[in-house]
Amino acid sequence: MNLTWHIIRKDITRNRWGLLLWSVGLGYLIVQSGAGFPKYPDYLGVAALLVVLVLGVGLVADIVQVDHPASDAASWRTMPISGRRMVLSKFLMLAAVFVALPVGITVLRNVFGTTQSMRNFREYSAFTLLFSTVTFSVAATAACTRNLLQCLLLWIVLVFGAVTLGEFLGRFAPALTRPQLFRMGLDKVFLVLGLSLATGLAVMFNQYVRRRAGLSVLLLLAGAVGTATITAFWGYFYFYHA
């Protein structure tokens, strides 16, 4: 456990100023989300959003790639650190900062604020799953690439590829009425995000422990195709195969 904490502390120290700036931007967005639409252009909010999105991706990629899982030249491989220990450390670090922190700020704002953006367990679960999915999908692409630019390009290709494929497959899916779409609620969202999260975690584990890049690429492609298929046909299976 001491070794795990040492790796986490090393990552925090390396990215301390970026993590601080990201946390401030995130806190501002979450607090302001309950204040309604501003009467004037919220340039500070736009800046905070850019910081959260751009800096967040950069931080996740750096945390993974600084101890690159697929490189034989990575310094941590010359130390008594196993792949399982390293992937556990990265998982705990990413989950604490990019999942637990946003959820914690949201809970505090709902408890002490005048308005509530989320009122039940399912909404909190969807919010947590959303941050988990984005975080670990970026981490998975970072684990399969050599630098931030490659990571960002691969992630964008996978996301837009899945969306495009889902739109194409949707042409062959039975049309649903608005009441039927409303009845599905968050089920479709949970399924899509859950599959994406499982794919990201599987890729990270494979890269750190087994280092089979070909298998990781296949997992990423399978996850993209799976989410596109769910997006297109989930309503059909939901209503006609219950």
Amino acid at 204: M
pTM: 0.87
Kindly report, residue by residue over 168-219, the tens digit of the pLDDT: 887 776 665 555 555 555 677 888 899 999 999 999 999 999 888 889 999 9
Question: How far apart (Å, rounded) are the C-alpha atoms in residues 134 and 131?
Answer: 5
Kindly report, residue by residue over 4-48, the tens digit of the pLDDT: 898 999 999 999 999 999 999 998 888 877 555 454 556 788 888
Kindly report, residue by residue over 48-95, the tens digit of the pLDDT: 889 999 999 999 999 999 988 877 677 777 778 888 999 999 999 999
| Average pLDDT rounded to a whole number, residues 147-168 | 92
Find all residues with CB under 8 Å of 86, minimum gap 6, and list them.
Answer: 7, 67, 69, 76, 208
pLDDT the model gives residue 241: 47
Instruction: Output Rg (C-alpha) for the chain, integer angstroms.
Output: 20
* Dihedral of the alpha carbons of 171, 200, 19, 72, in degrees to the nearest 10: -130
pLDDT the model gives residue 37: 46
